[in-house]
Amino acid sequence: MNRKKLIELRGITKSFDGEVVLDNISLDIYEDEFITLLGPSGCGKTTTLRIIGGFETPDSGDVIFDGARINDTPPYKRHINTVFQRYALFPHLNVYENIAFGLRVARIRDEEEISRRVREMLEMVNLKGFERRHVTTLSGGQQQRVAIARALINKPRVLLLDEPLGALDLKLRKDMQNELKSMQKRTGITFIYVTHDQEEALSMSDTVVVMNNGSIMQIGTPTDIYNEPKNAYVADFIGESNIVDGVMIDDYSVKMSGHTFVCVDAGFGKNTPVDVVVRPEDVDVVAPESGMLRGKVTSVTFKGVHYEVIVDIGGFKWMIQTTDYVAPDAEIGVDIEPDAIHIMNKSEYSGMFGDYSSFSDELDALSENTEEEED
């Protein structure tokens, strides 16, 4: 692809009160790209965004915009606009004046032009007829739209969005995801999007940047990230995965849970310990005697489209998603196709994720709730 680099982060480091929040971040962002920073709460996503927006200066490293270093350029001189996490609308102005703010600051005097451009924006975010409404009387979703319109009216090169859909309910969130995506396509403006929701990241982005603890774990397209996670952390964070200890016997051959599987990965060397990732939907349930592995079902949960089955295979609990019902406590066999097996090098995250032995839906729901409250 013949794309033009718009923003480069080079070795950005940032600490607050002696605590390292960003540790040597490097990232290229291209024109007309929808790029998402994805990671758990507190991993440094907002800080990265604020450095790009000009609200924080990095302790070391460079921010390059369109070829020029902009470390010391204040926010009001950058062709970048922001949709803030809690919208930050101006409470003393109505919808029209909030959106027109950028034009008035740019000293555009022609009221007709202002009116035309505000109306254009209102149309884009589906808020026609709301001009005179006071922003404090709007619902969360409507405030969100005003914030987007306000940020886009000056036609920035880049739009920064910090968890813009976090406060919306599920249905509205899905609609807004589609709208944002098509808005990005239509305007050609680079969107830098921050979220801790992996599903959102995968469905909207051209590029996903997985972050953890102030570092970038992996940069890639959604399919790359999902199918070829670089380490156990990414594999676990992006969707459900079984992450099993294995040994690379030879190229295209990996041994785990006592069985040698054919796989499509090579180049790890002989007899190298590796992490093996198998997605729950890629495991086939077969008769116990004909399976590559066999184990005992410990729990079955109906999920609508499929059943979620936890199987104990040689002491390791696997998660399997299958459309065929299996009975709890039944013995089953499992088959895994070569292209369903993804091999990763051992990393500091090995052994920390991808085992469903402590798995319970309630526990999951609980931890999700606390995560949202923190944000």
Q: How far apart are CA 37 and CA 82, in angstroms?
A: 15
Instruction: Name residue 196's amino acid.
Output: H
Instruction: Name residue 79's amino acid.
Output: H
Q: Which of residues 85 and 213 has its CB atom nearest to another protein in the complex?
A: 85
For residue 341, list its beta bridge partners.
278
Q: Which of residues 54 and 166 has its CB atom nearest to another protein in the complex?
A: 54
Q: Is 195 in the site for Mg ion (CB under 5 A)?
A: no
Query: What are the structure tokens assigned to 174, written together?
Result: 């899905």
- Termini Cα distance of the chain: 37
The residue within the footprint of ligand ADP, chosen from 25, 44, 54, 147 (CB under 6 A), is: 44
Query: What are the structure tokens assigned to 149, written together?
Result: 């319109």
Q: Which of residues 83 and 232 has its CB atom nearest to another protein in the complex?
A: 83
Q: Is 46 in the site for Mg ion (CB under 5 A)?
A: yes
Q: Is 230 in the site for another protein (CB under 8 A)?
A: no
Q: Which of residues 14-73 bind another protein (CB under 8 A)?
A: 53-55
**Region for 245 from its dihedrals, namely left if φ exceeds 0, alpha if ψ lies in -120 to 50, beta otherwise:** beta
Q: Which of residues 93 and 292 has its CB atom nearest to another protein in the complex?
A: 93
The residue within the footprint of ligand ADP, chosen from 10, 23, 28, 41 (CB under 6 A), is: 41
Q: Is 46 in the site for ligand ADP (CB under 6 A)?
A: yes
Q: State in angstroms the smallest separation of the CB of 80 from another protein.
A: 8
Q: How far apart are CA 213 and CA 211, in angstroms?
A: 7
Q: Which of residues 30 and 55 has its CB atom nearest to another protein in the complex?
A: 55
Q: Is 106 in the site for another protein (CB under 8 A)?
A: yes
DSSP state of 40: -
Query: Which of another protein, ligand ADP, Mg ion, none is residue 21 near (CB under 5 to 8 Å by kind)?
Result: ligand ADP
The residue within the footprint of ligand ADP, chosen from 34, 35, 45, 151 (CB under 6 A), is: 45
Q: State in angstroms the smallest separation of the CB of 211 from ligand ADP.
A: 7
Asked if 57 contacts 71 with a C-beta cutoff of 8 angstroms, the reply is yes
HSE-up of 236 (CA within 13 Å, CB side)?
Answer: 16
> At 280, phi and psi to the nearest 5?
-55, -30
Q: Which of residues 70 and 340 has its CB atom nearest to another protein in the complex?
A: 70
Q: Which CA distances in Å does 257 have to 26, 102, 260, 295, 308? A: 38, 61, 8, 11, 21
Binding site for ligand ADP (CB under 6 A): 16-17, 21, 39, 41-47
Binding site for another protein (CB under 8 A): 53-55, 74-76, 80-82, 84-86, 88-92, 101-102, 105-106, 150-151, 154
